[in-house]
Chain A
Amino acid sequence: MTLNLRIDLLIFSILLLLLIFKFMKDKKIPVKYALVWIFASAILLFVSLFPKFLGHIASLIGFEVLVNLVIAILLVLLLYITLVLTIIVSKQQKKITILIQEVSLLKGEQNNDKKS
């Protein structure tokens, strides 16, 4: 990995971390969900700081060019984050369903009370 790319990656991951911390501070992302992103950017930071370690892994897994491994890591991280998001959305869908049902039942009761 060239020095330039390392620096790019370093700046990028630090910016990402800072952005996440800012979002956490502004209470835009609760800590629970921010953790996923902190984990992701920490891995990027690690990659840019210790490329030698990464080099060993790259040859071990079978990547000929180190940069490809970096891209692969990014891809895996993105997949992981979308998967987590899918889980969150599904949980929320369940909660919203219950909410709609309960609110509708309550409203129905109210209407019936008015009529009788």
Chain B
Amino acid sequence: MAKNDKLLFIIPAYNEEENILKVVNTINNYKKKSQQKYDLIVINDGSSDNTERILTENRIPHIRLIHNLGIGGAVQTGYRYALENDYDIAIQYDGDGQHDIQYAEKIIAPILNGEADMVIGSRFIDKNSNSFKSSFVRRIGIKLISFVIKFKTNKMIYDTTSGFRAINKKVMETFVDDYPIEYPEPISTVHALQKNYKVKEVPVEMHERKGGKSSITSWKSIYYMINVILSILIVERKCNK
């Protein structure tokens, strides 16, 4: 069955005029070499720069959100699109060039062979790799969220904020129904765990951002931590599929 599975890259992009074309090109080059067939869709989250023009001029398949929704709302749009067009696996791949396409196959493998429903590309599993692992403060934040997730679900997730991830159809259905709008990565992971989906982490390497700005800036990080921890501890609750 594996070869016939339909795969979709979902690329959320907000004001990524500097990166988006490069990102799409690396995926397209990768597609040519790979045996698996991939499609991609860019979700332009109401960008105010030239992102839309670049997407249209280069005939890149994309959806332009008529209003900015935030990363969660953009990715959820991708899942909606994936379900409507009958994709089996959706891979979230950030539009800022942080992710390394070489790991795409590793990320979908556990889903293809039924080992997992959701796979997270993790920077922290392989301790020996010396690639980009985010700043010190951010790593502490990620560890803290890790601890909270372990406390809540009894499952250790190392790279809680990684946006390089793949999910199967069942999880897509869950996420279309309910997906965190603001800081989706850690919260949606807990959401999947609470629904008894199998979540697996595989080691990946990431690059530093090539341009543009990260969505998480300094003073917002305190709000981010409070928001995420409250969501995990109070909002998410155990339920069956």
A residues in contact (CB < 8 Å) with B: 93, 97, 100-105, 107-108, 112, 115
Interface size class of B (residues with CB under 8 A): 10 to 19
Quick one: given A97-B69, A97-B73, A97-B181, are A102 and B62 in contact (CB under 8 Å)?
Answer: no
| Additional 15 contacts, C-beta under 8 A, given A101-B73, A107-B63 | A97-B181, A100-B73, A101-B65, A101-B77, A104-B64, A104-B65, A104-B77, A105-B63, A105-B80, A105-B84, A107-B64, A107-B66, A108-B64, A108-B81, A112-B61
- In the complex, the answer to whether B181 meets A104 with C-beta atoms within 8 Å is no
User: What residues of chain B lie closer than 8 Å to A108, measured between beta carbons?
Assistant: 62-64, 81
Quick one: given A105-B77, A105-B81, are A100 and B63 in contact (CB under 8 Å)?
Answer: no
- In the complex, the answer to whether B84 meets A100 with C-beta atoms within 8 Å is no
How distant is the Cα of A26 from the Cα of B64 in the complex, in angstroms? 38
Instruction: Report B169-219 residues with CB < 8 Å from chain A CB.
Output: 181
Q: Mark B57-80, 1 if CB is under 8 A from A, else 0.
A: 001011111110100010011001
User: What residues of chain A lie closer than 8 Å to B181, measured between beta carbons?
Assistant: 93, 97
Please report whether the interface of chain A is mostly helix, strand, loop or mixed according to DSSP: helix
User: What residues of chain B lie closer than 8 Å to A104, measured between beta carbons?
Assistant: 63-66, 77
User: What residues of chain A lie closer than 8 Å to B61, measured between beta carbons?
Assistant: 112
Write the nearest CB–CB distance from B36 to chain A, whole angstroms: 23
User: What residues of chain B lie closer than 8 Å to A93, measured between beta carbons?
Assistant: 181
5 sample A-B contacts, Cβ–Cβ < 8 Å, listed by A number: A100-B66, A101-B76, A102-B80, A105-B77, A107-B66
- In the complex, the answer to whether B80 meets A101 with C-beta atoms within 8 Å is yes
User: What residues of chain B lie closer than 8 Å to A115, measured between beta carbons?
Assistant: 59
Closest to B65 in A: A104
Write the nearest CB–CB distance from B144 to chain A, whole angstroms: 27
Closest to A102 in B: B80
The listed residue with most B CB atoms (<10 A of its CB), out of A97, A102, A104, A107, is A104
User: What residues of chain A lie closer than 8 Å to B67, measured between beta carbons?
Assistant: 100
User: What residues of chain A lie closer than 8 Å to B59, measured between beta carbons?
Assistant: 115
- In the complex, the answer to whether A103 meets B73 with C-beta atoms within 8 Å is no
User: What residues of chain A lie closer than 8 Å to B65, measured between beta carbons?
Assistant: 100-101, 104
The listed residue with most B CB atoms (<10 A of its CB), out of A100, A101, A102, is A101
Write the nearest CB–CB distance from B63 to chain A, whole angstroms: 4
The listed residue with most A CB atoms (<10 A of its CB), out of B61, B63, B66, is B63
